[in-house]
Structure formats: C-alpha cells, structure tokens
C-alpha cells in the first residue's frame, strides 16, 4: 500500500477537476450535515416514543422545527450554488 503526499493528492484532484468546498459553501454544507444529524436523532426519538424522555415533546414542534431549519439551510445552499446569470 502506498502513501500519497498532500501535494500528490492536490495534483490528482486538479487533474480530475475535483474542488473541495470552501468558504460559504463549505460552511453551509457543514451546517446542513449537523442539522440533518440532529433530525435523524429526533426522528429516532419520535419513532421510539421516547421524545423528551416522558413520551412527549415539550415547548415546541421539535420535529417540524428541525425540518424547517434544514430546509432553510438547503434553500440558502441552492441560492449560493446556482449559476448566476
């Protein structure tokens, strides 16, 4: 098994047109990932019936609120990545 240096990897990425996300795009992807993970955890609590620990959600619509947050991040990401005319 061989080990590639960072420079070799960068050369390979350039050759194949692979560009890692940077700046605002990278930040939005990170936020979407975090929020999606939160949603998965909440869905598991909802499916099990545990919710806040006593069978109910307290304070607000946790499932709907988290979904709305994720949709908002997705919309921001799409606005950032759409080609400008």
Please say if the pLDDT value at position 2 is more than 70: no
Please say if the pLDDT value at position 3 is more than 80: no
Cα–chain-centroid distance for residue 14? 25
For residues 20 and 85, the model is more confident at: 20
pLDDT digits (tens, 9 = 90+) for 19-73: 889 999 999 999 999 999 999 999 999 999 888 788 888 888 999 999 999 999 9
Query: To which H or E segment does residue 70 belong?
Result: helix 62-81
Greatest pairwise CA separation for the chain in angstroms: 55
Which pTM was predicted?
0.76
Chain position carrying tokens 């795009």: 25
Residue 60 has what pLDDT? 84
């Amino acid at each position: 098994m061989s080990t590639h240096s960072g420079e070799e990897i960068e050369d390979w990425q350039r050759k194949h047109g692979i560009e890692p996300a940077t700046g605002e795009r990278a930040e939005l992807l990170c936020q979407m990932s975090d929020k999606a993970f939160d949603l998965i955890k909440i869905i598991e609590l909802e499916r099990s019936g545990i919710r806040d620990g006593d069978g109910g959600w307290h304070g607000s619509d946790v499932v709907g609120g988290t979904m709305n947050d994720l949709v908002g991040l997705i919309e921001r990401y799409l606005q950032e990545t759409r080609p400008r005319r």
